[in-house]
Amino acid sequence: MPIDPAAPILMFDSGVGGLSVLAALRRVLPQAPVIYVADNAGLPYGQKTEAEVAARVSGLLGRMTERLRPRLVCIACNTASTIALAAVRDVLEVPIVGTVPAIKPAAALTQTGVIGLLGTEATIRQGYVDRLEAEFAADKVLLRHGAPDLVTAAEAQLRGHPVDQAAIDRAVAALRAMPHGDRIDTVVLACTHFPLIAEALGAAFGPGVRLIDGADGIARRIAWLTRDQHFERRAPDLALFTRDEAGLGELSSALAASGLGRSDVF
């Protein structure tokens, strides 16, 4: 069956972190209609159990794909992807693109052989990350730190609040304090929220440290999977939230800057 040119790409995250992936997608597929879903009712994922995340993500995406009829789903969340990607692919009949820590490119770039990884507490303990390390960075030192406060900092910054410098300094200090942490020259941002505060993170790490995330690779993968398809935007792109809350109005400028001209509650 031909794909409706107006069928959207559905981009899903626990909050607004996936806007960093959306920005990369806009650069390669500016013509693609997008529905961005923020599961703010479930935020934060990083402090939930694996079973809770898997059940929530699979259930929500099942209902959303049935109602919204996307051509492709992007799980723009490292925690959800490392836990629930396989389960979601088992139940949905549309292509699914996940987000996983950019350990492979970091291993290729490091000169000192010491890589830092910042993620949520749930992401850094996943076997998926263990397998990426074994496959691509077995001869490197990978130092992991769970930094849930950085999710809160990124969410606040997009709402127009000052960046939480103390949270950034704590995360950087925790990595630096680990054995070999003084030799870190590459840091994987293993949460889509973290590129939103990359400028502050980069300043805290100092010169000579490169920050790596997977947004550009995800965008290229989506472009390749939809390479023969036609796109038609018949209405402004939509941001959907899973809970109405007072602070959503503070996101209007950030949503508009991301090309999301409408917002609603799912």
Q: What is the pLDDT of residues 67-76, one digit of tens each?
A: 999 999 999 9
CATH class name, domain 103-213: alpha beta
Q: How confident is the model at residue 107 (pLDDT cuts 50, 70, 90)?
A: very high
Give this prediction's pTM. 0.93
Q: What is the pLDDT of residues 198-237, one digit of tens each?
A: 999 999 999 999 999 999 999 999 999 999 999 999 999 9
Q: How confident is the model at residue 255 (pLDDT cuts 50, 70, 90)?
A: very high
Q: What is the pLDDT of residue 43?
A: 84
Residues 213 and 105: their CA atoms lie apart, in Å, by 9
Where do the domains of the chain lie?
A: 9-99+216-265, 103-213
Phi, psi angles (nearest 5°) of residue 14: -70, -25
Rounded alpha-carbon distances, angstroms, from residue 180 to 75, 135, 245, 257: 33, 21, 43, 40
- pLDDT at residue 44 is higher than 90: no
Q: How confident is the model at residue 247 (pLDDT cuts 50, 70, 90)?
A: confident
- pLDDT at residue 136 is higher than 90: yes
Residues known to be catalytic:
77, 191
Which fold does the domain 9-99+216-265 belong to in CATH? Answer: Rossmann fold (3.40.50)
Would you say the CATH fold of 103-213 matches that of 9-99+216-265?
A: yes
- Amino acid making up residue 264: D
